[in-house]
Amino acid sequence: MPLAIEPLSKSAFEPFGEVIEIEGAETRLINEGFATRFHALARVNVSRGRGRPIVSLFRAIQRPMPIKITMLERHPLGSQAFFPLNPSEWLIVVAEGGDAPDLATLRCFRARGDQGVNYARGIWHYPVLILAPWQDFLVVDRDGKGNNLEEHTFAAGSEVELDIGPDDIQ
Amino acid sequence: MPLAIEPLSKSAFEPFGEVIEIEGAETRLINEGFATRFHALARVNVSRGRGRPIVSLFRAIQRPMPIKITMLERHPLGSQAFFPLNPSEWLIVVAEGGDAPDLATLRCFRARGDQGVNYARGIWHYPVLILAPWQDFLVVDRDGKGNNLEEHTFAAGSEVELDIGPDDIQ
């Protein structure tokens, strides 16, 4: 059975991290009224092991369809935030679990082009996954010593196909 | 004399902070070749006074033209990064100086829509300044106790007009 794709929302994503979006934010009118601040939508948590927060850019290209999830990764030392810089919809695949992901909890969310996410430290997730030919992201994560990348490849026959139809491609 | 507007570049902005852009970045091919990471374009420096890094969104609206710079602000406890989420050009006004800005060093940079900046801790700058009717930004700065905003209003007659022509409006 292909994995269904759910719309991304703060409540649905709560076990995995934060959704970075204007909707529902604490707002502050600043700069003599010429700007609104949507405050603290994500909290960067990278200090473990003397990590330091950094801002990077990612340029992603589309993987061949159909998308089969054969592995997940996680960052044991820090959170990782993604925000799209082109307004296409994109996908987020996550699972609960400890030393290994629990594939029974695998979920796929479709983000709008004006929604980002901040994976909480240690959350199993698939690498950046897009629906357009290419898409750039601003990324806030950790620099510093220590192993901050763990990968888990699924057992043979356990791969999960995403339920992406032709209309989903951007 | 109106203040001339210079193109934003890493070398020109070096006294004030970092330019967040793909050009000239350290690149890392990741995700089986399906993404490129342009690594550590800005270093978030907000730990003074037990500050914590946060991600926020700003929505700016255009100020009435002509733009007169009558004040600057600075954040004594942390860096502040801005990256545009709509690809319009935008403006950055900064000055050197310690307890007060040195107006003889005032400079205005025009950023492309794919360039962000990270103001270094304590750098005098004007609030977000755009050339389109409105523009959203992703902002990485500091949450926590302590006064992280200082403002300096210029003496009467010291305001500086920016040299923005009709063709500059986005």
**pLDDT for B95-151, tens place per residue?**
999 999 999 999 999 999 999 999 999 999 999 999 999 999 999 999 999 999 999
pLDDT in tens, B141-167: 999 999 999 999 999 999 999 999 888
Among A106, A117, A112, smallest CA distance to A131 is for: A112
Residue B113 is encoded by which pair of tokens?
Answer: 């829509």
The pLDDT value given to residue A51: 97
B74 Cβ contact partners less than 8 Å away, ≥ 6 residues apart:
B122, B123, B124, B125, B149, B150, B152
Q: What is the mean pLDDT of residues B8-12?
A: 98
Distance from CA of A20 to the nearest CA of B (A): 8
Q: What is the mean pLDDT of residues B29-52?
A: 97
CA dist., res. B135 & res. B58, Å (int): 8
The band of A145, judged by pLDDT with boundaries at 50, 70 and 90, is very high
3-state secondary structure B106-129: CEEEEECCCCEEEECCCCEECCCE
The pLDDT value given to residue A1: 84
Please indicate whether, in this complex, the C-beta atoms of A52 and B38 are within 8 angstroms of each other.
no
CA dist., res. B140 & res. A24, Å (int): 19
pTM exceeding 0.95: yes
Q: What is the mean pLDDT of residues A19-28?
A: 97
Closest CB from A21, A44, A114 relative to B54: A44
The pLDDT value given to residue A32: 95
Check: CB of residue A18 under 8 Å from CB of residue A43: yes
Phi, psi of A128 (to 5 degrees): -50, 135
- Would residue A11 be called left, alpha or beta, if left means φ above 0 and alpha means ψ between -120 and 50 degrees? alpha
Give B-chain residues touching A55 at CB under 8 angstroms.
20, 40-44, 81, 83, 116, 118, 140
Please count the other Cβ atoms lying within 10 Å of the Cβ belonging to residue A149: 10
Give A-chain residues touching B127 at CB under 8 angstroms.
30-32, 34-35
Among B41, B55, B62, B65, the residue to mutate for chain A (most A Cβ within 10 A): B55
Position A165 pLDDT exceeds 90: no
The band of B169, judged by pLDDT with boundaries at 50, 70 and 90, is confident
User: For residue A10, what is the enclosing H or E element?
Assistant: helix A10-13
Average pLDDT, chain B: 97
Q: Is B132 on the interface with A (CB under 8 A)?
A: no
Position B170 pLDDT exceeds 90: no
Give A-chain residues touching B140 at CB under 8 angstroms.
44, 53, 55, 140
Please indicate whether, in this complex, the C-beta atoms of A114 and B85 are within 8 angstroms of each other.
yes
The pLDDT value given to residue B20: 98
Classify the complex by whether its ipTM is higher than 0.90, answering yes or no: yes
The pLDDT value given to residue A60: 98
Average pLDDT, chain A: 97
Position A143 pLDDT exceeds 90: yes
CA dist., res. B42 & res. B140, Å (int): 10
Position A166 pLDDT exceeds 90: no
Q: What is the mean pLDDT of residues A5-25?
A: 98
Check: CB of residue B140 under 8 Å from CB of residue B81: yes
